Amino acid sequence: MDILVHDIDAHEMIPSHLLEDAFGEPGRMLGELFAAADRLRPDPTATNMHQPDIQDVMEIDADNIWKVKGPGAPSAVDFGRRIEVMDVMGIDRQLVFPTTAIAAQIVGGMNDFAFEQRFGGDTSMFGELSRPEFAERYVDAYNKWAIENSAIDDRIRVVGILRTRDSADAMIADAKKLVEGGIRAVYLNADVPPGGVSPAHSSLDPLWALFEANDIAVTLHIGTEFFFLDPRWAFAETFQDLFQSPEIPNTNIQMFSTVHMAIENYLSALVLGGVFERFPRLRVGLLEVGAYWVGPAARRMDMYVKVFPGAAAAKFPLKPSEYIARNVRVSPFNFEPVERYFQDDPNLADVFCFSTDYPHVEGTKDSMKNMLAKVEPLGEEIALKFFRTNAEWLLP
């Protein structure tokens, strides 16, 4: 395949001992927490966030960048090296999401039982701050870092975090600061309603208008979406084989299989609530929550506008599936049968996009080669859509 690829989901992955350098005092706190977690459950894998010997010095070559995962991977820390990594990968532009700031938000939102399970319950590293207060400070520090690193090169689109606030006005004020700082993409949490209302409420229209006018990609990404459902649904002896990751701590097969539900709920509110009708150039990306649910969700929304002909959505000029095809882009996991999605829902052929998840282990090794083997038999047009042109919507 002789094209430059767009990557709509990659990450920083700064290890515990370097977090203070990047994020100041909140970084020191999270670094100590990662160290405490490793003492509680020693992690021998390369993706352990507490590896005090790591520096970002690994050689950038084709073998390393596709096979090495974790904070030791090239440019997991030093974004001055990220362009070189992208060049070797054959990537033109890349959305870069947080690892550690997602972890901080999860720490801030966990109940005490979940926190003790994952981290041992010691909160001394936070001093007088509550865990939610720590998370707030960490996100502030991350957003400052994101603005600084976004200035390195336009090909690197470091994503800023727009926290859920109790009022729409507060969220709009935060969004303006990110846009003024040069952020080209924002990450919203999907676990609770933004501003205390539906994403389709008119009080949030100035937010969507701001993003539309400035060509800002609005993204929802795996992280706090595990708070959408009561965690007791996964409290059973057969679900104790926990998968640990700084991005998704304390998860298991049941929780992972339902993580898309919060995102699907948010998308349904945007589509059926008329946000894409009012803001036809609003760019939305749904990342690292799979794509297996997108086709059924689009068909279900199309069905319900027929069932409820009096609803506002039934009177819009486009079907729900057409708004999704126009406004939304989704990155499938690299283990998904993406070729089936193109075959089963050709009307959504503009939706699905490639991502590396670099340098996270969930991105799998040799992901570009493996995904190309799936879509190449569908023809050059589909391969080009999947690896480049669909993603241009999120990377203008």
Average pLDDT over residues 98-105: 95
Nearest C-alpha neighbor of 139 from the set 220, 24, 37, 57: 24
Res 249 pLDDT > 80: no
Tell me if the bond preceding 359 is cis, omega within 30° of 0.
yes
pLDDT of residue 53: 93
The per-residue pLDDT for range 313-368, each reduced to its tens digit, is: 999 999 999 999 999 999 999 999 999 999 999 999 999 999 999 999 888 888 99
Distance CA 112, CA 131 (A): 10
Question: From residue 72, how far is each of 23, 54, 287 by CA, in Å?
Answer: 19, 6, 23
pLDDT of residue 145: 97
Average pLDDT over residues 44-56: 91
The per-residue pLDDT for range 366-388, each reduced to its tens digit, is: 899 999 999 999 999 999 999 99
Res 113 pLDDT > 90: no
The per-residue pLDDT for range 264-297, each reduced to its tens digit, is: 999 999 999 999 999 999 999 999 999 999 999 9
Contacts of 171 by beta carbon, 8 Å cutoff, 6+ apart: 162, 163, 164, 165, 194, 195, 204, 207
Specify which residues 330 forms β-bridges with.
286, 352
For the chain, what percent of residues have pLDDT higher than 90? Answer: 81
Angle at the Cα of 76 (from 114 to 329), degrees rounded to 5?
75
Average pLDDT over residues 162-171: 96
Three-state secondary-structure class, residue 279 = coil
Average pLDDT over residues 296-319: 97
Res 147 pLDDT > 70: yes
Distance CA 144, CA 141 (A): 5
pLDDT category of residue 114 using cuts at 50, 70 and 90:
confident
Distance CA 93, CA 388 (A): 9
pLDDT of residue 250: 63
pLDDT of residue 34: 94
Average pLDDT over residues 237-258: 74
Which range among 131-140, 232-241, 362-371 shows the weakest confidence by mean pLDDT? 232-241
pLDDT of residue 129: 97
What Rg do the C-alpha atoms of the chain give, in angstroms?
20
Beta-strand runs (E) in 214-314: 217-221, 283-287
Average pLDDT over residues 216-220: 98
Give the distance between the most distant pair of CA atoms in the chain: 63
Res 246 pLDDT > 80: no
| Mean pLDDT taken over the chain | 94
**CATH numbers and ranges of domains, the chain:** 5-393 (3.20.20.140)
Q: Which two tokens stand for residue 66?
A: 């596709």
pLDDT of residue 46: 85
pLDDT of residue 121: 86
Average pLDDT over residues 180-205: 97
Q: Which two tokens stand for residue 101?
A: 């700031």
pLDDT of residue 244: 64
Q: Which two tokens stand for residue 95?
A: 């959305």
